[in-house]
Structure 1
């Protein structure tokens, strides 16, 4: 039988091979093979089934959209790959994160989505020309906005920063990550970390200096095997600024080790623009509250912007 032409990138093929191998048992793979090939191909083992599924799918998007590729499968796979995902994310959001994790450029993916008529996203009003990009692993802001648009811009910055920060932190223990991805370069030299840990008892630690702060945060992932899953929705991430140029970002989420949810966290950041590098932000301070507890739902933020308190 002639193999259909596929539009998978090399990285997408690698991601789907791991995804299908991890999350699907043999009977589920056989069912997918039958659906995709219209029962015209027989496979003898799991590897043959995975190769047939990828080879006969029109493209990566078409495969991921199939009903048999369930939301919970994508969620579990992203967690196993150390990707920060929200418990409340729908399949559309998880699909975007899957593609970003596989190295697919966001604009190309969004274009494919629009052509397919799926995963419609909210487009900012034409009057707003604010855009956010990540350059040299720092937060960059470009564009023009009126005073009335500043709160929207700050909230968008908060959500972009949150996504970037925990992706870098969760990946910092992986041996394949270049040294430049995580480190003291993202913090001001006089930065400070205030850490509050609550389990059977409550303890507070303070670390000062960019290198100490960066290393202590990394140790959660590299030494303790934790993964931080932030709530990047407006209920779990917020941003505010003051006239002196400080942007305060608050975020909460869940803490995991392997497949176990250990509790919740809340973190607050103070970001200051670097005057020597245009539109570049670095972390001046961060307060982190970790709480070991049973989790029934994704935590949300409550209280004023300067209060660090978790509600679960």
Structure 2
């Protein structure tokens, strides 16, 4: 089938506005021209793709467009996929999204404001969302739930998305943690349980990255209100409660539950930094995305206060 106008908007959204995907766009365009043409701009690349490929399914099936790229795109737009997803399933989900009436509004809005949209480190000011961020972050199906609007929950969802996106691409930095940050990590496999404790930012990062590399995990948090929430403990520490699924090529292999303790750093532009982190990785099947209400380990934290106003 020819590429529809809606799909063209979607392709721009996926391969142009996602700046890290631009090199892939140029690579695909050069490959379809057999490297005869020197493709240097995104518009040239799009023109070659629209004419020479002419079919969205064929384009997204190109080897250069990886499953991780497709998954990240859906994940950033708060579109839930089945736990055991394949590249074909992700492609079908994206094409369906591009041709939906909801996407027509969202894509047009993003097109109008794209020049102002940037990807920034996680800073305190981002708890007040600009129109582009609001269009993306507030898409969960439970958006009508008044409580999900609370600033502490918005902060929790933004932080969770930022943290696991950076963990998945191994870009967490020592400055994202307090120097004395602590980690309690439990890896519960079918035949054994291993516990790890870290007492400094460098140890925390090294342990997280080593675990990810050893098992090849891809962390897929449930970014709806059912899967990520904020709380305040008695010491004024902002707690972020999050859960999701663990993936390795090509299967869902487990679930995770995490609690983050966040504090602002007045000497780092008042950014939120990780002070404490407790995380459990469990080996189990997951037909559906897990939710916080199902967790035994997070029950106590879920009973803590939920501030309705701005977080200071």
Q: What is the TM-score normalised by the length of structure 1?
A: 0.59
Residue 197 in 1 paired to residue 181 in 2? Answer: no
Q: Give the distance between the partners of 1:239 and 1:134, measured in 2 at CA.
A: 23
SS at match of 1:138: coil
Q: Give the distance between the partners of 1:194 and 1:205, measured in 2 at CA.
A: 6
Per-residue deviation, 1:70: 10
Paired residues of 1:195 and 1:205 also in contact (CA < 8 A)? yes
Q: Which residue number in structure 2 is paired with residue 164 of structure 1?
A: 162
SS at match of 2:125: strand
Q: Which residue number in structure 1 is paired with residue 32 of structure 2?
A: 47
Q: Which residue number in structure 2 is paired with residue 232 of structure 1?
A: 223
Residue 139 in 1 paired to residue 123 in 2? Answer: yes
- Using a 3 Å threshold, how does the CA distance of structure 1 residues 301 and 189 change in structure 2: closer, same or farther? same
SS at match of 1:266: strand
Alignment of 1:109-188 (within 5 A): 110-112=109-111, 135=120, 137-141=121-125, 152-172=150-170, 181-188=171-178
Per-residue deviation, 1:259: 1.7
2:301 to 302, 306, 310: 306
Per-residue deviation, 1:166: 0.8
SS at match of 1:282: strand
Q: Deviations over 1:203-246 (max 9, x none)?
A: 32211111101110111233432211111111111112247431
Q: Deviations over 1:144-167 (max 9, x none)?
A: 89xx99961111111111111111
Alignment of 1:208-227 (within 5 A): 208-227=199-218
SS at match of 1:163: helix
Q: If each structure's helix is expressed as a fraction of its own residues, which one has the higher value?
A: 2
Q: Which residue number in structure 1 is paired with residue 308 of structure 2?
A: none
Q: Which residue number in structure 1 is paired with residue 264 of structure 2?
A: 273
Q: Give the distance between the partners of 1:142 and 1:202, measured in 2 at CA.
A: 38
Q: Give the distance between the partners of 2:24 and 2:210, measured in 1 at CA.
A: 27
Q: Deviations over 1:104-140 (max 9, x none)?
A: xxx997332799xxxxxxxxxxxxxxxx9974x3332
Residue 83 in 1 paired to residue 72 in 2? Answer: yes
SS at match of 1:238: strand
Per mean C-alpha deviation after superposition, the further-off stretch among 294-303 and 85-94 is 85-94
Q: Which residue number in structure 2 is paired with residue 120 of structure 1?
A: none
Q: Give the distance between the partners of 2:222 and 2:198, measured in 1 at CA.
A: 25
Q: Give the distance between the partners of 2:157 and 2:69, measured in 1 at CA.
A: 23
Paired residues of 1:262 and 1:294 also in contact (CA < 8 A)? yes
Q: Which residue number in structure 1 is paired with residue 282 of structure 2?
A: 291
SS at match of 2:183: strand
Where do 5+ consecutive residues of structure 2 fail to align? 1-10, 82-92, 99-105, 130-145, 304-312
Q: Give the distance between the partners of 1:269 and 1:253, measured in 2 at CA.
A: 14
SS at match of 1:141: helix
Paired residues of 2:148 and 2:154 also in contact (CA < 8 A)? no
Structure whose alpha-carbon radius of gyration is higher: 1
Q: Which residue number in structure 2 is paired with residue 263 of structure 1?
A: 254
Per mean C-alpha deviation after superposition, the further-off stretch among 201-210 and 242-251 is 242-251
Aligned length, in residue pairs: 235
